[in-house]
Amino acid sequence: MIRIFKIALRNLMRYKRRTLLTSMLITLGVLMVILFSGLAGSFKAIMIGQITDSNLAQMQIHKKGYVSSIDTSPLNLTINQKGYKTLEKVFKENPDIEAYSPRIKLSAMLSNFKETTNVRLNAIDPKKEIKVCPNVSDRMKFSGSEIPDILLKQGEIIIPEKLAKGLKIKIGDPVVLVANNKDGSVNGLNFTVAGVIESLVGPQGKEGYMHIKDAQSLLRMEQPETIEIALRIKEFDKLDDVYTDLESALAEFKNKKGKPAFEIHTWETLSPFANIAKMIDFMTISMKLIMIAIVLISVLNVMMMSVYERVREIGTMSAIGTAPGKIMGLFLAEGLSLGFISTLVGNIIGIVGIYFLNIYKIPFAFGRNTIYLLSPTINLSELVWVTAIVLLISVFATLQPAYKASKMEPVDALGHV
């Protein structure tokens, strides 16, 4: 076997320029896949992190039917105290859940005493919210340069930046919030603007923030009620598994009509960025397909040329008694060696490239004054996958020429001019 690969390598070196060109092409394909996967993966991870860690959370639980009517911010689809405690028990029993945070979503009228406008608000328990969305303050601007330990206290409100500009409201200004409760009665409360928040793409990206207890008072809730429970899990990679576990756990809770009482959604079904993430995955797969095409065409071409140029040699091998299987093996070893060396070089250059991209990070801006730095990574399984595909395609591309060589009649091959 070692001798077969030794002969194969020498045969590859026989046509140095052709082998080098083909090898460079395969190396380039592998490098392209590694760098693109690393950069795209890094971009995707940052964006998903930004979305889930700043406002959406990784998963959300609502009363059944809430998400389909989310645009109207219905106040009649709330989770009562009993329901919330039941869910808390489910969360505590699941070791994969890191944190959860209750929210109330509401629409209200905001007035600066001169003008009034609509505002959508996310009422939160700040301590719990920070655990679920650790980057929630990234888009926020407060009076000082420091971010307060507790985002907001009772009686404070954080309003969307554009709205603040439109109504000429500054941080520290008093405002009034007026809201209808679920029975239709109106209530108003005074608040102080604690900060402003930059808008973000997505359904929950233009909301202001207030304290959940203020929301319960404003909406005249006699008992604490919740509209949304945001969840964070310990390992993001386990999202689908945890989602499945929770979905089956929640399915046990029925409403009075015997239908599921709750619904659970991952960030993917709540954010339009999920489609962009899918597009990134699709582009990564496309890159891999291009690499496969490069390997297939280049190895097939070089091996066909190799067989065509060595007909007499194949005839000699066959005449002196080399079994057809071994002749085939010689050519397969040649194609495999070409693929292996090229992918090895591609992997090494790719890893070095990723290393340098991590030193000289590529910056991009997204959100409030935040410069994100792409820090591409490539995991071992991705490298193994790329290598395995290249080797498999190299062997596949060599099969036809190698089979042709093994089937040559020595008497015809020896007479080939």
Binding site for another protein (CB under 8 A): 3, 7, 10-11, 13-14, 312-313, 315-324, 326, 409-411, 414
> Is 85 or 312 the residue whose CB approaches another protein more closely?
312
Residue type (1 letter), 331 = F
Q: Which is nearer to another protein, 6 or 92 (CB)?
A: 6
Q: In angstroms, give the least distance from the CB of 322 to another protein.
A: 5
Could you tell me the smallest distance in angstroms from the CB atom of residue 356 to another protein? 38
Q: How many residues make up the chain in this entry? A: 417
Instruction: Please say which residue, 9 or 109, places its beta carbon nearer to another protein.
Output: 9
Sign of CA dihedral 401, 403, 404, 408: positive
Q: What is the dihedral of CA 161, 164, 166, 167, to 10 degrees?
A: 170
Is the CB of 3 or the CB of 114 nearer to another protein? 3
Report, in Å, the least distance between residue 20 CB and another protein: 17
Residue 361 gets which letter from DSSP? P
How many C-alpha atoms does 294 have within 13 Å on its Cβ side?
24
Which backbone phi and psi does 211 adopt, to 5 degrees?
Answer: -75, 145
CB of 297 to another protein, least distance (A): 25
Report the alpha-carbon distance of residue 288 to residue 299 in Å, rounded: 16
Name the residue nearer to another protein (CB basis): 14 or 220: 14
Question: Smallest gap, in angstroms, from Cβ of residue 323 to another protein?
Answer: 6
Whole-number Å distance between alpha carbons of 406 and 370? 63
Among the listed residues 142, 285, 154, the one whose alpha carbon sits nearest the alpha carbon of residue 213: 154
Closer to another protein by CB, 332 or 383: give it. 332
Tokens of 406: 């093994």
What residue has token string 């309003």?
159
**Least CB distance from residue 17 to another protein, whole Å?**
16
